[in-house]
Amino acid sequence: MTLPTIAILMPGDMGHAVGRVLREHGHAVLTCLAGRSARTKGLAQSAGLEDTADLETLVYRSDLVLSILPPGRALEQAEAVARAMKTTGATLVYADCNAISPQLTRTVGAVVSEAGAHYIDAGIIGLAPGKGPSTRFYVSGPDTSSMEALDGKGIEVLALGEEIGAASGLKMCYAGLTKGRWTLQTAVLLAAEQLGLSEALSQEFEFSQKAEYAAMRERVPRLPADSARWVGEMEEIAATFADAGVPSGFHEGAAEIFRVLAKTPFADETRESIDDSRTLEDAVHVYAQHLPERSESE
């Protein structure tokens, strides 16, 4: 039996690794690299993905599209695929795997469904395949069988029922804790730096929060490389919480922290080029230099 042809839009850190393991399990895996960066093109090539000439060709040849890109581009990508479907007359399954709110995933679903696609809401939890424990794709919708068929092919697929928005909602809650915790840690360290208390706080953390502080020393200096694309994710989490009747201010603040980190020179790094010799103290000192200036009235 011929396996479905799968398209990955786009093959960044997560997308290219997902494409690689699916290709290794016998699927033809396509992408479209028109207008993409040299880094993305390199990742796609390393994963063995086939580059199509344009989006219309990709849509025409694909059975399943996995949209894996920063949340701010999720709707734009869906609209582009919908246009390509209408141009070619192709029909396919479209799985939005982005870190977006339940509200936005329903909007995305409406766009591609109107063009004739079958829509699956999906949320990714875990590191990219090959970088840690199993990468989990949570999926929801009236028919998630196309995604469930990929279970065990380098990824784990878990169904959450028929409601569009359930998978995205779970992703929002999970990332609300993980990335939210990282921004809270960064905010605490920045406040201590501004108050001249970094050394004293470090000593207290070493005494009473040893395990948590070790994790902070490992994680916080590495955040700027991803900070720009995580701003949108925090905004999506805030929107999710607000819609659920939960105060959204914490993750609005988390977005602000990522905006600060995105202004630092470290934000030009990629995951491959992060300077692992940078200490927490060095990182926080530079982060503090990019905090918004306070007015005299404050």
Q: Which whole number is the average pLDDT over 284-294? A: 94
pLDDT tens-digit series, residues 153-204? 999 999 999 999 999 999 999 999 999 999 999 999 999 999 999 999 999 9
State how far the Cα of 58 lies from the Cα of 286, in Å rounded to an integer: 43
The full 3-state SS of 49-88, as one line of letters, equals CEECCCHHHHHHHCCEEEECCCHHHHHHHHHHHHHHHHHH
User: Which amino acid appears at position 101 of this protein?
Assistant: S
State how far the Cα of 49 lies from the Cα of 165, in Å rounded to an integer: 29
**Domains 6-163 and 169-288 are alike in CATH topology:** no
The CATH architecture that domain 6-163 belongs to is 3-Layer(aba) Sandwich (3.40)
Give the sheet arrangement for strand 156-159, strand by strand. Answer: 50-51, 29-31, 6-9, 64-67, 93-96, 118-125, 136-140, 156-159
Q: Which whole number is the average pLDDT over 123-143? A: 95
Query: Beta strand 118-125 with 6-9: parallel, antiparallel or unpaired?
Result: unpaired
Whether the CB-CB separation of 134 and 79 falls below 8 Å is answered with no
pLDDT at 37 over 80: yes
pLDDT at 223 over 60: yes
Higher local confidence (pLDDT), 272 or 165: 165
pLDDT of residue 296: 42
Q: Select from 146, 139, 145 the least CA-distant residue to 169.
A: 139
Band the pLDDT of 1: cuts 50, 70, 90. Answer: low
Lowest mean per-residue pLDDT among 103-107, 127-131, 177-181: 127-131
pLDDT of residue 132: 79
Lowest mean per-residue pLDDT among 34-38, 42-46, 222-226: 34-38
Strands (E) across 18-60 are located at 29-31, 50-51
Kindly state the percentage of the chain with pLDDT values over 90: 95
| Average pLDDT of the chain, as a whole number | 96
Q: Where are the domains of the chain?
A: 6-163, 169-288
User: What's the CATH number of domain 169-288, 3.40.50, 1.10.3470, 1.10.1040, 3.60.21?
Assistant: 1.10.1040
pLDDT of residue 115: 98
pLDDT tens-digit series, residues 252-270? 999 999 999 999 999 999 9
pLDDT at 2 over 90: no
